[in-house]
Amino acid sequence: MSVSTPDKAATVEFRSLRREFGATVALDGLDLTVRPGEFLALLGPSGCGKTTALRMLAGFEHPDSGAVLVDGEDVTRVPAHRRDAGMVFQSYSLFPHLDAVDNVAFGLRMRKVRTGERRARAAELLDLVGLGDKGERFPHQLSGGQQQRVALARALALRPRVLLLDEPLSALDAKVRLSLREEIRRLQQELGITTLFVTHDQEEALSIADRVAVMRAGQLEQCAEPAELYGRPATAFVAEFVGTMSRIPGTVKDDRVEVLGQRLPFDGQAPGAGEVDVLVRPEAVRVRADGSGTATVVATAFLGAVVRVTVRLADGTEAKADLPAHEAAELGAGSAATVSLPERPVLVAERARE
Amino acid sequence: MARRLNLWRWAVLGLAALYFLIPMAASVLFTVDVPGEGVTFDAYTQIVSADGFLSSLLLSLELAVATIAVVLLLTVPAVVALRLSAPRLRPVVEIVCSLPLVVPPIAFVAGIVTVLKWGPDHLSRTPLFETFVAVQNPDFPVVLVIAYVVMALPFVYRALDAGLRAVDVRTLVEAARSCGASWPQALVRAVLPNLRGALLNASFLTLALVLGEFTVARLLGFEPFAVWIYDVGGSQAQMSVAVSVLSLLVTWALLLALAGAGGRDRTASSRG
Ligand SMILES: Nc1ncnc2c1ncn2[C@@H]1O[C@H](COP(=O)(O)OP(=O)(O)O)[C@@H](O)[C@H]1O
Ligand SMILES: [Mg+2]
């Protein structure tokens, strides 16, 4: 297809980026490398500096120190309109005075491409995002999802070296969000374009990205493939931000951690001997109805394939467990239960203070 | 209930219409109905053929065009820049732009007269003297444009500010920039077309202001349309009323023309 064929996908590097806004430190020495053709999700809680990082690559924001490199070339001083980066914004950003075709063709018009040629290419791009028949519509005549599709086509029109997406789905309703994110992924794979996708939704990040970079307070916490991020989080912050984690108090003693009456091995370094928290995923927690158990079921929530059971342990901490529906049937709220963990290495973290 | 409300609306509209239309109709009637002669448009033909009608009207139009151009060139980049980079300065700029509202035109013109008198006295040996002369050229009094720009500032600022409030300037500019547009291109191609309504409003208000302005022009000794109307109408009652009816019609016609031009441009520019 003539729409694709980026000459060669670009590498993007953030080198110890730092940016302060008055007293807030938006980026605090961010280091990150995006591989050629990769779909990288930038994940983190609101206010951790994701947008700021993305805007630095787009050229809308300038670092106090550090550098942005594209294909090894320092672009920190290059103005935004020569960055060769297509961007889709969080808010609806189509030009209200232009119809869909002209919106997509806007960049080509700036490049002085002839009218016929640019309209043909714009129509081609609209086809690509599934809106070939909506070219004559103005932004106010399009739904939110359609507007973001047009914005995506517009961002791709100049065959940019990198595609930047700043929470492009956050203003859409759940169903559209799901279908559009699959479409973005499909397009990205088809075009092989290096892509940075900012989101605060961990499920979104895990489901579409090649790798996920978790940010916290302006720094990179961990950058890894979704499965690794979920299965072997490098820090307690990542563990709790990605997916659901429960903290169960335990004690470290000679290379093992004592928790729920079991002695289990643990991954990595202990934060010190003595009192720790053991971090467990709900699917790894087992709950059994047991009249003499010390734990109490607090609540159950039906999630479709599984039932999420919240139990209160003897010492008052709460843990979440995902159980198949038939196992959960006898675990009504208030019933007594026993909680256990499988004989596998667990993750430990410093005891949280409340 | 809804019907009662509707009735009320019509009643209010009718009253307002009467309030405006009766004096106008009376004026028109007074000018065309000459006792003993029946209906005649003599008063109007007299005006149009009177000395200075065309030249004063043209002068007013030239002044209006120049004022609109200057005031928009000054304020548009300023308010856009204000939005983008210094939103905290907005109240300051708003107050500064509103100052002309609280200075009465009579005081304003007194100030201008003082400067115009003082200048030549002190600068008679410098090239600036020529500037003072040029500024007061009766064929095109630049000093009036300067004065009108200041007087139009509050209205223009408010019209633009209201227009800018309705568009997300930052996102529009950034979207344009990421599509390869330089700063001026982003402003002209992405922001201005979405401010069309506001620009039109600002031009409207400035046009109406310049066409109707009397005090400053008169006291500085120039003769644009409003001053000419006063001069020509002063001598004859019927003619003076005819003249005000005419000035009303001229202003309306011009505003309609401006609206028409703006509306046509809109459809023309939506094609890439
Ligand atoms: N232009 C700005 N002026 C002042 N503070 C800003 C600006 N942009 C971002 N910040 C601050 O920097 C921090 C990071 O912002 P941002 O990158 O937008 O976070 P995220 O996109 O991860 O939610 C926030 O605390 C935010 O308030
Ligand atoms: Mg953000």
Local confidence pLDDT in tens for the 272 residues of chain B: 567 778 899 999 999 999 988 988 888 888 887 777 777 777 788 777 777 888 888 999 999 999 999 999 999 989 998 888 888 888 898 898 888 888 888 888 888 888 888 776 776 677 777 777 777 777 788 889 999 999 999 999 999 999 998 889 999 999 999 999 999 999 999 999 999 889 988 998 999 899 888 889 988 888 888 888 888 776 677 777 887 788 788 888 887 887 777 665 444 343 33
Which residue has the least CA distance to atom 20 on ligand 1? Answer: A47
Low-confidence residues in chain A, pLDDT < 50: 1-6
What's the distance, CA B4 to chain centroid? 40
Same domain, A257 and A199: no
Instruction: Give domain status of residue A6, yes or no.
Output: no
Q: What is the largest CA-CA distance in chain A?
A: 80
Q: For position A354, what pLDDT does the model report?
A: 55
> Rounded to whole angstroms, how far apart are CA atoms A129 and B8?
52
H or E stretch including B249?
Answer: helix B237-269
Six token digits for residue A147: 């507007």
Q: What distances in angstroms separate CA B44 from CA A110, B25, B208, B240, B269, one per listed residue?
A: 53, 15, 22, 10, 40
- Number of domains making up chain A: 2
- What is the SS3 assignment for B120? helix
Same domain, A22 and A140: yes
Same domain, A45 and A151: yes
Q: What is the DSSP letter of A266?
A: B
Of B177, B189, B270, the CB nearest to A80: B177
Same domain, A329 and A220: no
CA dihedral A188, A189, A192, A195 (to 10 degrees): 40
Same domain, A206 and A250: no
Which residues are CB-contacts of B117 (< 8 A; sequence separation ≥ 6)?
none
CB contact under 8 A, B174 and A60: yes
Instruction: Give domain status of residue A123, yes or no.
Output: yes
Tokens 């003769």 belong to B223
Q: For position A227, what pLDDT does the model report?
A: 92
Q: For position B269, what pLDDT does the model report?
A: 41
Q: For position B266, what pLDDT does the model report?
A: 46
Q: For position B103, what pLDDT does the model report?
A: 87
Neighbours of A266 (CB within 10 A): 20
DSSP H stretches of helix in A62-212: 100-110, 115-128, 144-156, 174-191, 202-208
Instruction: Give domain status of residue A4, yes or no.
Output: no
Domain extent at residue A300: 244-350
Same domain, A148 and A293: no
Mutation for testing the A interface, residue in B84, B167, B172, B178 having most A CBs under 10 Å: B178
- Domains of chain B (ranges; CATH) run 52-224 (1.10.3720.10)
Instruction: Give domain status of residue A5, yes or no.
Output: no
Q: What are phi and psi of A298, to 5 degrees?
A: -95, -45
Nearest to A302 by CA among A333, A279, A271, A325: A325
Task: Give the B-side interface with A, CB within 8 Å.
Answer: 167-168, 171-172, 174-182, 185-186, 189-190, 193-194, 196, 266, 269-272
Distance from Cα A164 to the centre of ligand 2, integer Å: 12
Tokens 């997406």 belong to A165
Same domain, A200 and A296: no
Last residue of a domain, one of A236, A271, A303: A236
Q: What distances in angstroms separate CA A306 from CA A332, B19, B76, one per listed residue?
A: 15, 74, 59
CB contact under 8 A, B174 and A98: no
Six token digits for residue A204: 């979104």
> Rounded to whole angstroms, how far apart are CA atoms B3 and B6?
5
Instruction: Give domain status of residue A336, yes or no.
Output: yes
Same domain, A72 and A123: yes
Where residue A83 sits, what CATH number does that domain have?
3.40.50.300
> Rounded to whole angstroms, how far apart are CA atoms A128 and A244?
36
Q: Which ligand is nearest to the CA of A60?
A: 1
Same domain, A190 and A146: yes
Same domain, A310 and A258: yes
Instruction: Give domain status of residue A3, yes or no.
Output: no
> Rounded to whole angstroms, how far apart are CA atoms A290 and A330?
10
> Rounded to whole angstroms, how far apart are CA atoms B81 and A196?
29
Same domain, A194 and A310: no
Last residue of a domain, one of A236, A255, A284: A236
End-to-end Cα spacing for chain A: 57
> Rounded to whole angstroms, how far apart are CA atoms A292 and B134?
104
Q: For position B263, what pLDDT does the model report?
A: 62
Where residue A336 sits, what CATH number does that domain have?
2.40.50.140
pTM here is 0.81
Chain B residues within an 8 Å CB radius of A140:
none
Chain A residues within an 8 Å CB radius of B174:
58, 60, 80, 87, 89, 93
Instruction: Give domain status of residue A259, yes or no.
Output: yes
CB B109 within 8 A of CB B148: no
Complex ipTM tops 0.85: no
Of B177, B194, B271, the CB nearest to A81: B177
Last residue of a domain, one of A200, A218, A236: A236
> Rounded to whole angstroms, how far apart are CA atoms B227 and B219?
10
Same domain, A178 and A289: no
CB A248 within 8 A of CB A286: no
Q: What are phi and psi of A278, to 5 degrees?
A: -100, 130
H or E stretch including A48?
Answer: none
